[in-house]
Amino acid sequence: MTVVTRFAPSPTGHLHIGGARTAAFCWLFARHFGGKFLLRIEDTDLERSRQEYTDSILASMIWLGLECEGEPLYQTKRFDVYNEYIDRLLASGNAYWCECSPEKVEAMREKARAEGGKPRYDGCCRQKGLGAGPGRVVRLAAPATGRVVFEDMVKGHVAFDVAELDDMVLRRSDGAPTYNLAVVVDDITMNVTHVMRGDDHVNNTPKQILLYEALDAAQPKFAHVPMILGPDRQKLSKRHGAKAVIEYEEDGLLPEALVNYLVRLGWSHGDQEIFTMEELVQFFDGTSLNSSAAAFDPEKLLWINAQHLRALSAEALLPRVKPFLERIEAPCADDALALRVIPLFQPRTSTLVELAEAMKGLLLPAAEVAYDAAAVAKSLTPEGREHVRVLKERFAGLASFDKDAVHHALHSYVEDNGLKFKAVAPALRVALLGSGGGPDLAEAMAAIGQEVSVARLEKALSL
């Protein structure tokens, strides 16, 4: 039997990190077992569903590298299928028409709540033998007693008393199917073998199992992954602080790093922290999932991202930083130059945004270098300027300008004059880079080249 998983977002917002993690788990699980990963758009809430959100979710999935098999399935296009299944339930006596108004049902619930019980519909239309009619809904004729039991892949043994469940609505008065009905029908018809979803759905599971039973259909395996909580340990949701995946994209995060971080939240493989997508596929088999909720830690995400950023080759990184360079008006005209500059900042930055900003400082022509006033005042002293002046001449006269050549020129100047390297480095650094921090001087000069290096020093001397 081939494994089939599915991710089923509702297009009422952008894809947020909780959903992204669930999607990643589903995708990984299917990949690991050589199965299929399907996508289903749960857009039956006509009020809140929007096409733009569907587009956004799809785009985020692609960005994350979690591509699904075939075309996504839209629930709104499947009302015929749902009605067919509802008719079957009606015919088999597992469902019935109900004429109770929402107000009446709400009153029942209030009453039950007041009496300290579980709010539920009392099933008063069950024996009425009603047929279809305006304002009427179809409800499941749930068994009155017994227990619903299932083995969850992460929670283990879970049991519910059916007395806790009520006769849920299957078909709304407007003819649209309800969530639980649609999910079950879809999972059956899509041949889903493993339902992996958020913890917040465990309570729906017994209701859905009742439907599988009423439909006499085989049940999938369930895996309820714990929620992601905010740094404050409060629930993270679309309406409460959950950042959308696209925001991370804009922040310069690497998709593989986001997936790495998200998956590690609630899953582990020994002490390993950094995983490539390939490793994730190799190791993720649905076990080692944690059963408790995890708090989102932005700092660790950043660290993971930095690790992935450093692991990439300059060639691989170049096309990925380019959009960020353009965004800060430092478009890269010289790929070879950019390729030499990237490695200088890989150990010094943790996002593409930071990388682009750092690169900008070296990509600029001499005339546009921005000097940090405090650093200039501190290091470009008369004495410092003198060092820069002489050094500039020496650099200009170099036949070769690779890192070693520059390094030797620099150090021979220091030795020739009986100086300490520390005495000349700060001035040269500010003159060259405009500020007090940054990469190795010889490396930086070799990267931007002799002409620009000399021009930069000259510019600094004119300050």
Partner RNA sequence: GUCCCCAUCGUCUAGCUGGCCCAGGACAACGCCCUUUCACGGCGUCGACAGGGGUUCAAAUCCCCUUGGGGACGCCA
Interface region with RNA, contact rule CB under 7 A, candidates 158-166, 277-285, 327-335, 390-398: 158-166
Interface region with RNA, contact rule CB under 7 A, candidates 29-37, 221-229, 325-333, 359-367: 221-229
Comparison of 255 and 438: residue with beta carbon closer to RNA: 438
Q: In what order do the strands lie in the sheet with 73-74?
A: 73-74, 36-41, 4-7, 194-198, 221-225, 147-152, 156-161
Active site residues: 238
Taking phi over 0 as left and psi of -120 to 50 as alpha, with beta for the rest, 335 belongs to alpha
Comparison of 132 and 295: residue with beta carbon closer to RNA: 295
Interface region with RNA, contact rule CB under 7 A, candidates 64-72, 115-123, 314-322, 331-339: 115-123
Binding-site member from 17, 39, 61, 169 for RNA (CB under 7 A) = 169
- Binding to RNA (CB under 7 A) within 26-65 occurs at 42, 44-45, 48
**450-461 and 421-433 helices, crossing angle to 10°:** 100
For residue 54, give both structure tokens.
């569907």
Please list, in sequence order, all residues whose beta carbon lies within 8 angstroms of the beta carbon of residue 257, skipping any fewer than 6 positions away: 301, 304, 305, 307, 308, 309
Percent helix, strand, coil in the chain (nearest 5)?
Answer: 50, 15, 35
Binding-site member from 22, 54, 56, 178 for RNA (CB under 7 A) = 178
Q: Are 98 and 172 in contact (CB under 8 A)?
A: no
Q: Using CB under 7 A as the criterion, what x/- string covers residues 326-365 for binding RNA?
A: ---------------------xx-----------------
Work out whether 186 is an interface residue with RNA (CB under 7 A): no
Work out whether 219 is an interface residue with RNA (CB under 7 A): no
- Binding to RNA (CB under 7 A) within 286-325 occurs at 288, 290-295, 297, 299-300, 303, 310
The two counts, helices (H) then strands (E), for the chain are: 19, 12
Binding-site member from 442, 455, 457, 460 for RNA (CB under 7 A) = 442
Work out whether 122 is an interface residue with RNA (CB under 7 A): no
- Binding to RNA (CB under 7 A) within 247-286 occurs at 264-268, 270-271, 273
Please list, in sequence order, all residues whose beta carbon lies within 8 angstroms of the beta carbon of residue 111, skipping any fewer than 6 positions away: none
- Binding to RNA (CB under 7 A) within 357-416 occurs at none
CA separation for the pair 387, 389 (Å, rounded) = 5
Total chain residues near RNA (CB under 7 A): 84
Q: Is the dihedral of CA 230, 236, 239, 242 positive or negative?
A: positive
- Binding to RNA (CB under 7 A) within 82-101 occurs at 100-101
